[in-house]
Structure 1
Amino acid sequence: MDTISLAVLDDHQVVITGLKNMLSGVPEITVAFADTNSKALIEFLEVIQTDVLLLDIQMPETSGIDLCKQIRKTHRKIKIIAFSSFGEPHYVKQMMRAGASGYLLKNADQETLVKAIRTVAADGEFIDETVKKLLLQESLSGSKRSVYEIPLTKREKEILKLIAEENTNQEIADKLFLSLRTVETHRFNLTQKLEAKNTASLVKEAIKRGIID
């Protein structure tokens, strides 16, 4: 069996270490790159193109969705697997539209991880079984949601209001007694749910949908 070269980008070093340990006993998969920095990944791919990229969809410098689009434009042979804690259908659809060949949840076991990598390396597509069930439920319920019906949690609405008031992430964290990381996660979720590219479009969409005044 041919060796599959793998690049890993995740914003948590502990996740990277765990992935390396899971794959250390799989001889046909070689981890050629693993880092928490998206710029380092881009620089690496300019020199060496791996067969597969395991890409966290939530990165601090840029969203995994935008990064996926960028890499697919410049390195079309690389197969990308979205790697995420989020299994909601709208995340999956956005990543697949961006050019990903697979979608894997971060709680996947070794067998599922290896299967996903092998499948996309062989030009196939792989969707985590849990995610498949969520997509099926959405399909069966006929939930082609109106763009105005995307549900936000109470906390997301609070943070959205503070964003609209031009508070920084740190200021929001201080006001709501949250960690900066928690605020960043909520902000990322909001941009994905409202399909916004930046703060201005996020606020514009929120007003358009009547979420904030």
Structure 2
Amino acid sequence: MTIRLLLVDDQRLVRAGLRALCAAEPDIEIVGEAVDGRDAVHLADRLAPDVILMDLRMPRMDGIEATTEILRRRPHARITVLTTFDDDDHLYPALAAGACGFLVKDATPDELLDGIRRAARDENPFSPTVLRRLVTQAMSARTTPVSVPALTGRERDVLRLLGEGLSNADIGERLHLGVTTVKTHVGNLMTKTGYANRVQLAVFAVRAGLVDEPA
């Protein structure tokens, strides 16, 4: 499968670097480059990319607003934020807007490419520092009780491993399940909990006490 990728960044040099990195990969095709959020909305409509790599701070329309608008028009779009800023003021608005992942620009080339591929597989790529922050904050919120719906034993196992940050493939290997079966369980968990994506499920798993606190 070839991943159709749209790059969104107002800095020409950044786009050139991303293009050079991604174009060298046989499974990634760069279908377009947007210079700001408005351009991104237009190109997402016209090109229907599999994955959108979205900057946050841009003129005319920023990445948060663009993410919201793209997902309003194309609910199944996979948008991964790529930004210099990994603070909470940027992380949580991006997640609330519907971004499926959050990577910082000091990520290694391998981490960035892996993030693009994970987004295309309906997973949620996060830089390690960002994921640690989410887990830490979820741990601190454990004192607030959360209601866990009726789950099957297998759904509870999948939810626990989601909370540990495992991919569908890793969960399948751990539980001796096919990836399609894992996806079915994840979909059922979203329906039962009311959460819209894997990140929210992972945080819920931690808050519900299904994931052991790191030593």
Matches within 5 A, 1:112-131: 112-131=111-130
Amino acid at match of 2:69: Q
1:92 and 1:37 mapped to 2: Cα distance?
Answer: 19
CA distance in 1, matches of 2:79, 2:44: 13
Structure 1 residues 134-171: Cα deviation after superposition (integer angstroms, max 9, x where no partner): 334445566xxxxxxxxxxxxxxxxxxxxxxxxxxxxx
Judge conservation of contact 1:88–1:134 (CA < 8 Å) in 2.
no
Counterpart for residue 35 of structure 1? 34
Partner amino acid, structure 2, of 1:127: F
Unpaired stretches in structure 2, ≥5 consecutive residues: 142-215
Q: Deviations over 1:36-90 (max 9, x none)?
A: 1333322222322000000101111122111111100001221000111111134
Query: Is the partner of 2:10 in helix, strand or coil?
Result: coil
1:9 is displaced (CA, Å) by 0.7
Q: Secondary structure at the match of 2:86?
A: coil
Contact 1:89/1:135 (8 A) holds in 2: no
In the alignment, the residues of structure 1 paired with residue 61 and residue 48 of structure 2 have an alpha-carbon distance, to the nearest angstrom, of: 21
Q: Which residue of 2 aligns with 1:82?
A: 81
User: How many residues matched?
Assistant: 143
Partner in structure 2 of residue 156 of structure 1 = none
Structure 2 counterpart of 1:45: 44
Amino acid at match of 2:79: I
Task: State the partner residue of 2:106.
Answer: 107
- Which 4+ residue blocks in structure 1 deviate beyond 6 angstroms? none
CA contact (8 A) 2:38 2:66 kept: no
User: Aligned partners of 1:10 and 1:39: how far apart in 2?
Assistant: 11
- Gaps spanning 5+ residues in structure 1: where? 143-213
Q: Tell me, yes or no, if the aligned pair for 1:13 and 1:35 is still in contact at 8 Å.
A: no
Judge conservation of contact 1:89–1:131 (CA < 8 Å) in 2: no
Larger mean CA deviation between 129-138 and 103-112 belongs to 129-138
In 2, Cα distance between equivalents of 1:20 and 1:131: 24
Q: Superposition RMSD on alpha carbons, in Å? A: 2.0
Paired letter, 1:96: L
Q: TM-score, normalised by structure 2?
A: 0.61
